[in-house]
Chains A and B, each alone.
Chain A
């Protein structure tokens, strides 16, 4: 699982039917500058630190084996002090 920070929601009206009307979020993985898009079945807000699963577990985590996701948020971290960890 990856630790990511939520940056904001992503609106994509024209999408494949398999993605349904699920919420998509732009997330930034801890320690990298690149942005990724994750499916959010949990309900996160911008700034939240979350854990996200990849590979085939992402499909299961999104609700069904047939859901086409390669990154799904599975939980919001209650306490995460990035500043303290970065200096440690």
Chain B
């Protein structure tokens, strides 16, 4: 699992059927690379989150049929920028 920070919400109205109506978030890693993750818990911009990748991402989404390779698994209670960058 990776540590990411939520950047913003992402809206895609026309989407693959198996992406269902799940909310999406733009997240960034410690060096600034952007990724899109599925959000089953409800995060807000600026939250530090843990994300689950590969096949476990589909289980984490609540239904193994959902087509995702990155799902947010939890919001980190205490985390700071300095610890994240180094």
Whether B55 and A16, one on each chain, are in contact in the complex, defined by CB atoms closer than 8 angstroms, is no
Smallest CB separation, A14 vs chain B (Å)? 4
Does B56 make an interface contact (CB < 8 A)? yes
Q: Please, how many angstroms separate the alpha-carbon atoms of A63 and B76 in the complex?
A: 23
Count, chain B residues at interface, CB 8 A? 26
What 1/0 mask marks residues of chain B from 41 to 60 whose CB sits below 8 Å from any chain A CB? 10000000010111111011
Whether B74 and A70, one on each chain, are in contact in the complex, defined by CB atoms closer than 8 angstroms, is no
Whether A59 and B76, one on each chain, are in contact in the complex, defined by CB atoms closer than 8 angstroms, is no
Q: Please, how many angstroms separate the alpha-carbon atoms of A38 and B62 in the complex?
A: 20
Out of A12, A19, A26, A67, name the residue touching B77 (CB < 8 Å). Answer: A12
Does A81 make an interface contact (CB < 8 A)? no
Interface SS of chain B: mixed
What 1/0 mask marks residues of chain A from 25 to 42 whose CB sits below 8 Å from any chain B CB? 010000001111111000
Out of B30, B57, B75, B84, name the residue touching A68 (CB < 8 Å). Answer: B57
Whether B76 and A12, one on each chain, are in contact in the complex, defined by CB atoms closer than 8 angstroms, is yes
Smallest CB separation, B23 vs chain A (Å)? 13
Kindly count the residue-residue contacts between A and B in the assembled complex, taking CB atoms under 8 Å apart: 84
Q: Please, how many angstroms separate the alpha-carbon atoms of A87 and B58 in the complex?
A: 42
Find residues 5-51 in chain B having any chain A CB closer than 8 Å to their own CB.
30, 40-41, 50
> Which of chain B's residues have a CB closer than 8 A to the CB of A35?
3, 30, 84
Q: Please, how many angstroms separate the alpha-carbon atoms of A58 and B52 in the complex?
A: 11
Whether A13 and B77, one on each chain, are in contact in the complex, defined by CB atoms closer than 8 angstroms, is yes
Please name the residue on chain A nearest to B55 by beta carbon: A56
Whether B59 and A11, one on each chain, are in contact in the complex, defined by CB atoms closer than 8 angstroms, is no
Residues A16 and B41 in contact in the complex (CB < 8 Å), given A55-B54, A59-B56, A70-B57: yes
